[in-house]
A = this chain, B = another copy of it.
């Protein structure tokens, strides 16, 4: 965050850039291992060897295993935030809800370990640092603002919304990983929610298979 002092030699910039690049390389490898072995299956040894290092060398980049998790936590939240950026939020509330639901459920369904890390507390004794948590708060605020723009005033309605969307996502991961059994239900779920909360007559649901 602190900007480089103008008088600082370029060599130092390069070194820092190299350092950051390696750090990111380690984090990328960590995501891969997480997907393969589960969130709690990660070991520093395996991580180090995945980037052709000895485990001890990781400590140049991360102070502890929890620090690695913390960076992954921030990483994942940043990724989710980035997915919100480019999308167009429709003026039609129902359409806006559908867009954001698809985005979120798809994101979660992609990666079970990431879901656990970002939204559950399944690692003993780990909790994100304030800096990392701030990004998660940003994500929440972004979602909340979109919902408000769609006409949701009540906090309870927002909670109902997150429950519905989180439920679809977690069931997709738990009962049909890699499939679309619950992803297929998104539009219907959103219609249900919109009918109930926005009080508008949404397009009647398809009764065809």
Contact = CB atoms under 8 A, between A and B. Distances in A.
A49 interface: no
Given A122-B40, A192-B192, A171 B182 contact: no
Nearest to A172: B163
Interface string A7-44: 00000000000000000000000000000011111000
A189 B160 contact: yes
Contact of A121 (B112, B163, B165, B168): B112
A106 interface: no
Contact of A116 (B119, B122, B125, B181): B122
Interface of A: 37-41, 112, 116, 119-125, 156, 159-160, 162-168, 170-171, 174, 181-182, 184-185, 188-189, 191-193, 195-197, 205
Contact of A120 (B116, B160, B165, B195): B116
A159 B185 CA distance: 8
Given A122-B40, A166-B167, A167-B165, A160 B188 contact: yes
A37 B166 CA distance: 25
Contact of A174 (B121, B171, B197): B121
- Main secondary structure on chain A at its contact with chain B? helix
A122 B38 contact: yes
B156 A185 contact: yes
A162 B198 CA distance: 23
A160 to B, nearest CB: 5
10 contacts: A40-B122, A40-B123, A41-B124, A119-B174, A121-B174, A156-B185, A156-B188, A163-B171, A166-B170, A191-B196
A189 B163 contact: yes
A81 B191 CA distance: 32
Nearest to A105: B163
